[in-house]
Structure 1
């Protein structure tokens, strides 16, 4: 699922059925790092994700 702003509101529709989360960040884009942190915090604190034990893969591209 794309990380573009117009698609982020769709993410939560996949939280209940998701088997894993892969979160990719362009670490060369300093401005987006702040947005990525906020979005990751929101995702991890969502009720459908917060209390589940699911694999989380974080990757930073240089």
Structure 2
């Protein structure tokens, strides 16, 4: 997947965030692992400070 960021833009730190609703989605090809390259394609690799992935349904979230 090609990177979409503009190379002349100042480097701004980001944290990548991926989320799925159910455990089966988390294990499937549409899960967290599939979202990682997409989330990281929007910014240069050196701008990503960290990554957070979670499996949680909005109905049952506290």
Q: TM class by shorter-chain length?
A: 0.3 to 0.5
Identify, as 1 or 2, the structure richer in strand.
2
TM-score by length of 2: 0.39
Structure showing greater Rg: 2
